Amino acid sequence: MAAITTPVAAEQSTAQKSDTVVFDITKPPVIEGFTPLPRAKEEGFKDKFIRKTKENPFVPIGCLGTAGALTYGLIAFKHGKTRQSQLLMRARIFAQGFTVAAIVVGVVATAMKPKQ
């Protein structure tokens, strides 16, 4: 048999809902028996870029090589040097491959590094 909702039951359920505690989204929730770790210092773009470059210096080198080959190849194409432009586009593909390989090696090295 289905339960029939009466106005009295509806009033009781709304009264119970108004007694519940509303979460304050400006503060983290309080959980009994749990103490969160202190937050690390916020790292800016420059600091993060320098740290990542020191961890894997081949990625920025590959990115610069790719950008340089692309730029110089487009300039050569604009000047009508099709042979040189074609060689520089091949160099760009090589530099992109180097960059992807550097990223993969960096990810594997990071995964193999023991946890601290």
pLDDT digits (tens, 9 = 90+) for 81-104: 999 999 999 999 999 999 999 999
- Give residue 80's region: left, alpha or beta (phi > 0; psi -120 to 50): left
Domain total in the chain: 1
pLDDT at residue 45 greater than cutoff 80: yes
Q: Is residue 26 part of a domain?
A: no
Question: Structural domain of residue 90, as residue ranges?
Answer: 47-112
Q: Is residue 105 part of a domain?
A: yes
Nearest-5° Cα angle at 40, 39 to 44: 125
Q: Is residue 4 part of a domain?
A: no
- Predicted TM-score (pTM) of this structure: 0.59
53-72 average pLDDT score:
93
103-114 average pLDDT score:
89
